[in-house]
Chains A and B, each alone.
Chain A
């Protein structure tokens, strides 16, 4: 078997381990990939991330739901933990950038944000996750500190979503060019627009696609 064939097979196995939410196998295969001297960046993008891409498709087709996404995410991170320390260079892609994200002040519901983070992670974004119940000033501070391209705000409660227009105004006042995305159960595209956000995504899978679109504009 030639090396490229062997590489391809290993990458496919990593992909499959993520889709099968097999955390242990994902880590083992990523270790094997390093031993074979395969570029860890390929392992991430063509193995792990490709797996999460398939997972996203299964979620959109309603074959996978949140429990499956969470376990696939665990398999992704198990592989990333192995490969990341060995990645020497970052590759520039025009639709990938830096993103600050968090669940807005007054809201502790972070399962959606966690999944959004995973999908961005898989797509190669540089992520600054502020967690949940994030004070409005923190979003501005973090964007300022990191010069993030996008700030993503999440809310599950109708009460906490009321903080969104305020923080959007604060962020835009500081950096009119920053892209702001919002999401969460009570949000709609109309409300997002009304609040002054640049984009809305209904779930974690579409969030990455929307962010990439916005980056190209």
Chain B
């Protein structure tokens, strides 16, 4: 099967020649090709080429393949963000948040959906995806995570307790911005080409309780999918980042997305548990990134074998991959260990 055929098959609940394999690999791609991490965010052409070569090298299927966020909270709304630099930075760095106090919220302007943040670079990247006939990934954080990124997470979490109405304002701005940009993408590429991808790190139980999720995050997940359906976008993936074990029953109860969607899990969530909660969806994950970075190839291979054994039983299908972003500095042989396991056991 070609990568494309494999992905089509899994979305039709059909058998594949082997377990599909993917990685959220923004900075790893450019480093792998001898370029800088900043190139992943700043140089769409180079980033795309490096992603293509890296995907071919490791046999990754396009689930998902992107070069960073299409929309961002802090940057798009006027905060100061800079490219990663130096030896130890692996992602964009927020220098200052656009909202420092409650009063700042009313001064916020809706970002230009074509020009804000790194949207122009993301558009160039998406054009290359479309030109190469691979899905056009549109990557946003969840509205809750984006809102927290506009005001800074500490302040936002305090407001969830003391000033919920302030949180609602930021959440409204966040989801409306996501869809302003998404409409631009739909007009450019058509809904069938677009694969909407979302991650929700600020919803992890390492930060918030299920009751906070229910009150502030879930209503916006529901609205997101209503609006996604109206736009005609069918392909969706959600990276349920970190430890979200306590959130799973609530997410499963609501599950507003089309089935099957791709649900990506961190190593903190057992794959069998994930499959039990989401039997109609494709389970994706969940090799621990820190082990990929600091462990041995044998450890990664064994974790991958176990993940495949568990994942194969998932009724909605399974994709092998890291439990979060592939570490930028991961040793190539450890990354290859996942591919080898997919070939040997998948």
Contact B89 A159 (CB under 8 A): yes
Min distance, Cβ A71 to any Cβ of chain B, angstroms: 6
Min distance, Cβ A61 to any Cβ of chain B, angstroms: 12
Q: Which of B112-120, B156-164, B254-262 contacts A (4 or more CB under 8 A)?
A: B156-164
Residues on B with C-beta less than 8 A from A170 are none
Any chain A CB within 8 A of the CB of B133?
A: no
Given the interface pairs A159-B328, A187-B290, the reply to whether A114 lies near B86 with Cβ below 8 Å is no
Any chain B CB within 8 A of the CB of A148?
A: no
A194 partner, pick from B93, B161, B289, B294, beta carbons under 8 A: B294
Q: Which residues of B280-294 have CB atoms within 8 Å of chain A's CB atoms?
A: 289-290, 293-294
Given contacts A62-B246, A186-B293, 16 further A-B contacts (CB under 8 A): A62-B205, A65-B208, A70-B157, A74-B158, A106-B88, A108-B93, A108-B94, A111-B207, A158-B330, A159-B27, A159-B329, A160-B89, A185-B206, A185-B242, A186-B290, A191-B290
Complex Cα spacing A163 to B328, Å: 14
Count how many chain A residues have C-beta atoms less than 8 Å from C-beta atoms of the other chain.
30
Q: Which residues of A174-217 have CB atoms within 8 Å of chain B's CB atoms?
A: 185-188, 191, 194
Residues on A with C-beta less than 8 A from B157 are 66-67, 70, 111
Min distance, Cβ B82 to any Cβ of chain A, angstroms: 11
Complex Cα spacing A22 to B206, Å: 23
Any chain B CB within 8 A of the CB of A168?
A: no
Contact B90 A157 (CB under 8 A): yes
Any chain A CB within 8 A of the CB of B166?
A: no
Any chain A CB within 8 A of the CB of B103?
A: no
Any chain B CB within 8 A of the CB of A99?
A: no
Any chain A CB within 8 A of the CB of B64?
A: no
Q: Could you give 7 example pairs across A and B, Cβ below 8 Å? A: A62-B209, A62-B246, A65-B208, A67-B157, A68-B161, A163-B88, A185-B242
Given the interface pairs A65-B208, A65-B212, A191-B290, the reply to whether A158 lies near B158 with Cβ below 8 Å is no
The residues of A with any CB-CB pair to B shorter than 8 Å are: 21, 62, 65-68, 70-71, 74, 104-108, 111, 114, 133, 157-163, 185-188, 191, 194
Complex Cα spacing A191 to B295, Å: 9
A65 partner, pick from B93, B205, B293, beta carbons under 8 A: B205
The residues of B with any CB-CB pair to A shorter than 8 Å are: 27, 37, 86-91, 93-94, 153-154, 157-158, 160-162, 205-209, 212, 242, 246, 289-290, 293-294, 325, 327-330
Complex Cα spacing A21 to B158, Å: 11
Complex Cα spacing A158 to B329, Å: 8
Min distance, Cβ B168 to any Cβ of chain A, angstroms: 15
Residues on A with C-beta less than 8 A from B154 are 70, 111, 114
Residues on A with C-beta less than 8 A from B160 are 67
Residues on B with C-beta less than 8 A from A133 are 93
Q: Give the nearest-CB partner of A187 in chain B.
A: B290
Contact A66 B88 (CB under 8 A): no
Contact B161 A160 (CB under 8 A): no
Q: Give the nearest-CB partner of A108 in chain B.
A: B93
Contact B329 A67 (CB under 8 A): no
Residues on B with C-beta less than 8 A from A158 are 90, 289-290, 293, 325, 327-330
Given the interface pairs A65-B212, A67-B161, A67-B212, the reply to whether A160 lies near B94 with Cβ below 8 Å is no
Residues on A with C-beta less than 8 A from B89 are 106-107, 157, 159-160
Min distance, Cβ A85 to any Cβ of chain B, angstroms: 26
Contact A106 B86 (CB under 8 A): yes
Residues on B with C-beta less than 8 A from A107 are 88-89
Residues on B with C-beta less than 8 A from A186 are 289-290, 293
Residues on A with C-beta less than 8 A from B27 are 159
Residues on B with C-beta less than 8 A from A66 are 157, 206-208
Given the interface pairs A108-B93, A186-B290, the reply to whether A71 lies near B88 with Cβ below 8 Å is no
Given the interface pairs A71-B158, A111-B153, the reply to whether A159 lies near B90 with Cβ below 8 Å is yes
Contact A161 B246 (CB under 8 A): no
Complex Cα spacing A114 to B327, Å: 25
B88 partner, pick from A21, A162, A188, beta carbons under 8 A: A162
Contact B88 A104 (CB under 8 A): yes
Given the interface pairs A159-B88, A159-B327, A160-B90, the reply to whether A188 lies near B161 with Cβ below 8 Å is no
Q: Give the nearest-CB partner of A158 in chain B.
A: B327
Residues on B with C-beta less than 8 A from A114 are 154
Min distance, Cβ B150 to any Cβ of chain A, angstroms: 15
Q: Give the nearest-CB partner of A66 in chain B.
A: B207
Min distance, Cβ B325 to any Cβ of chain A, angstroms: 8
Complex Cα spacing A160 to B161, Å: 31
Complex Cα spacing A71 to B212, Å: 15
Complex Cα spacing A185 to B266, Å: 11
Complex Cα spacing A105 to B154, Å: 20
Complex Cα spacing A105 to B208, Å: 26
Min distance, Cβ A74 to any Cβ of chain B, angstroms: 8
Complex Cα spacing A162 to B242, Å: 20
Residues on B with C-beta less than 8 A from A187 are 290
Given the interface pairs A66-B208, A106-B87, A185-B242, the reply to whether A162 lies near B329 with Cβ below 8 Å is yes
